[in-house]
Structure 1
Amino acid sequence: MTSPGTVRHFLKDTDLTPSEQAEVLDLAVRMKAAPYSVQPLAAEGSARKTVAVIFDKTSTRTRVSFSAGVSDMGGTPLIINPGEAQIGHKESVEDTAKVLERMVAAIVWRTGAHEGLVDMALNSRVPVVNALCDDYHPCQLLADLLTVREHKGRLAGLTMAYLGDAANNMANSYLLAGVTAGMHVRIAGPEGYLPAAGIVAEAEDVAARTGGSVLITVDPVAALEGADVVATDTWVSMGQEDEKAARMQLFRDYSVDAAAMAKAAADAVFLHCLPAYRGYEVAAEVIDGPQSIVWDEAENRLHAQKALLAWLLHRSGQAVVDGLPV
């Protein structure tokens, strides 16, 4: 979405058009090959050097990748840990945005409700980035697409299957980011744990323009058959610990083990955003096996997010990145 002026935000996967998504991924390839070649936050590059990275939820990869990435680009990450800010309880999101925009180059927020991110962006004249919310995990998907492209040489036309809890943020982002890249996205989960109708409709609309496609099914075999990419996520996310026993039973037919991978293409690759629980959503023989690209995927959070921040700052007129269109 875009708030007043030219500032660009990244709150959900479809905030980038297909061509813009490709620009970010191309920039990520370039920055991975030369990690310090793009310096939008360095002394000569930007009016502000600090990026606020706010956590309402704990994290490992998000914290490290954004912290390291901002530093790599010549800036200073300001990490605000869970409970250290007053956003949404003592101070409104709107007021917080109006304060932060005067002090930092960008705002990265890992939170719960997507509506809070929307409010932050509508009141901010600097880019706001969704580092995870209950509905979407778009930064993770940029890393995933970068990793698939590295291993497969392309994205458009590939088939990507996601199995498990398909009513969560990862399933939503796989759908939206995948079809934006022109992929055929198949989502499989039990009844009652599938993507919301609005998300599916948006994905189908994008797919109609990019040549991708959408399949939502309760049949894991239908999703897996001939897939080039197989992905899953933990069955028990933060805040769902009390449901663990029920979820283990509910999702057991959607576990990604050797038999499941055998139904995909012979050269299929496996993705998991981590943390992973071996023996539940994925077998150790898969995540630790030759088809797994999860460690490249984890590293690529750094490169994809650096590229995203640089692209947003450039497109918002707050920095200049050589090689990007104005």
Structure 2
Amino acid sequence: MYSIFQGRSFLAEKDFSQAELQYLIDFAQHLKEMKQQHLPHQYLAGKNIALLFEKTSTRTRAAFTVATTDLGAHPEFLGANDIQLGTKESVEDTGKVLGRMFDGIEYRGSSQSVVTQLAESAGVPVWNGLTDAWHPTQMIADFLTIQENFGNLAGLTIAYCGDGRNNVANSLLVTSAILGVNIRIVTPTTLYPDDQIVALGHNYANQSGGTVQITDQVAEGVLGADVIYTDVWVSMGEEAQFEARIKQLLPYQVNQQLIEQTKNEQVIFMHCLPAFHDTQTSYGKEAAATYGIQEMEVTDEVFRSAYARQFDQAENRLHAIKAIMAATAGNLFIPKV
């Protein structure tokens, strides 16, 4: 039985071709339909999956847990205080141990090098649930959401407004370029993405027919966009930079005026969550009390509007992760793509 995915890890989008990423998006859409119809799809029956979480999570943990269960496997959660990863035991040794006990390993943490070392030593598929560099499972969910709305991907335009050098911006830039989607990173010059990421994006875009644009000009960056995407201004571990980020990024806040600047009535809004769109969280209350700001990267008006697709994205994390796990660990027959 031949599968181009079998046994592969999913560490970064750049490791997969346009056809392979498109297959995962389409497979995720198929699995979503199967779940909605209550059709069983236990491609991982009898297997055990390790879920390593050095960083806290809502969507990633819930999606991996439910996806593992739906696929017929057993999920085992291992939090930051549950194992010795990188403290009393090396990443390599941990990978070798877990690889002998589990059929697949998810890792969510800071370091891309850690998830890479796990993949090199475990001997089973390893899936990147998020690192500081990339967020690949999010991308399959995101482009599934876009495909559901527009029916296709190639030729569409995404404008990402916010911190241009975080993991989501990196992943959006590269994944869009691979898929032939036009990507614009709209961000202050001080937060431009790394030159190597931009160069990688241009290389992929030259092959796919997409375009890559980095700009600090909001009106130019969002004009004609099909998708407006944003993310938190302060990533996990950067909380000390709240004040500086607010000053830098307030002009890039996704509000109704910015939506109207797209001049596209079919535009949709996306956010990978969590979002600071009100003061109903401790972070939101602290920001309001300290900096006098009620909303950050997106206004409550846009967040609750008809443009918004962030909860579709959140649900699609489940179906995307399920597709990735089944394709790489499920012994499926998948013709070469």
TM-score range, shorter chain: over 0.9
Q: Specify the code of the residue in structure 2 equivalent to 1:320.
A: N
Q: Partner letter of residue 274 of structure 2?
A: P
* 1:42 has 2:45 as partner: yes
1:76 Cα shift?
Answer: 0.7
Specify the alignment match of 1:325 in structure 2: 335
Contact 1:38–1:321 under 8 Å retained in 2: no
- Residue 268, structure 1, aligned to residue 280, structure 2: no
The Cα shift of 1:250 comes to 1.0
What is the rounded CA distance, in whole Å, between the counterparts of 2:206 and 2:255 in structure 1? Answer: 32
1:6-56: CA deviation from partner (whole Å, max 9, x where unpaired): 73111111122100011111111110000254322114xxxxx11111100
Give CA-to-partner distance per residue, 1:140-174, whole Å, 9 cap, x none.
Answer: 11100000000111110000000111110010000
Q: Which residue of 2 aligns with 1:99?
A: 97
Secondary structure, aligned partner of 2:189: coil
**TM-score, scaled to structure 2:** 0.90
- The separation in 2 between residues aligned to 1:98 and 1:156, in whole angstroms, is 40
SS of residue matched to 2:101: coil
Normalising by structure 1, report the TM-score.
Answer: 0.93
Q: Give the 3-state SS of the residue equivalent to 1:28 in structure 2.
A: helix
Corresponding residue SS for 2:190: coil
Instruction: Determine if contact 2:188/2:249 at 8 Å carries over to the other structure.
Output: yes
Q: Distance in 1 between matches of 2:227 and 2:16?
A: 22
Paired amino acid for 2:171: S
Unaligned runs of 5+ in 1: 44-48, 314-318
What's the CA shift for 1:131? 0.3
Residues 6 and 332 in structure 2, CA contact (< 8 A), matched pair in contact too? no
Aligned with residue 215 of structure 1, among 213, 216, 222: 213
Alignment partner of 2:203: what SS? Answer: helix
| Range 154-163 or range 27-36, more displaced | 27-36
- Which has the larger helix fraction? 2
Matched to 1:42, the amino acid is A
Post-superposition Cα deviations, 1:234-271, rounded to whole Å, max 9, x if no partner, equal 00111111111121111101000000011122110000
- Contact 2:9/2:328, CA 8 A, preserved across alignment: yes
Q: Deviations over 1:68-115 (max 9, x none)?
A: 000000001111112221111111111111111111111100011111
Letter in 2 for 1:33: E
1:8 aligns to 2:24 (yes or no): no
Task: Flag as ranges the 4+ runs of structure 1 deviating above 2 A.
Answer: 35-38, 319-322
Counterpart secondary structure, 2:82: coil
User: What is the identity, as a one-letter code, of the residue corresponding to 1:61?
Assistant: R
Counting only pairs closer than 5 Å after superposition, residues 1-326 of structure 1 correspond to structure 2 as 7-35=7-35, 36-43=39-46, 49-264=47-262, 265-278=264-277, 279-313=295-329, 319-322=330-333, 324-325=334-335
Determine the structure 2 residue equivalent to 1:316. Answer: none
Q: In structure 1, the residue corresponding to 2:302 is in which secondary structure? A: helix
Given that residues 9 and 15 in structure 1 are in contact (C-alpha distance below 8 angstroms), is that contact kept between their aligned partners in structure 2?
Answer: no
Query: What one-letter code is carried by the residue in structure 1 that aligns with 2:315?
Result: E
RMSD: 1.3
Q: Give ranges in structure 2 of 5+ residues lacking alignment.
A: 278-294
1:158-203 CA distance string (max 9 Å, x none)? 0000011111001000001111211000001112211101111111
Q: Give the length in aligned residue pairs.
A: 311
SS in 1 for 2:122: coil
Give the C-alpha shift of residue 127 in structure 1. Answer: 0.6
Which deviations, in whole Å up to 9, do the C-alpha atoms of 1:202-222 show, x marking residues without a partner?
Answer: 111111111111001111222
Percent identity over paired residues: 40
| CA distance in structure 1 between the partners assigned to 2:64 and 2:54 by the alignment | 15
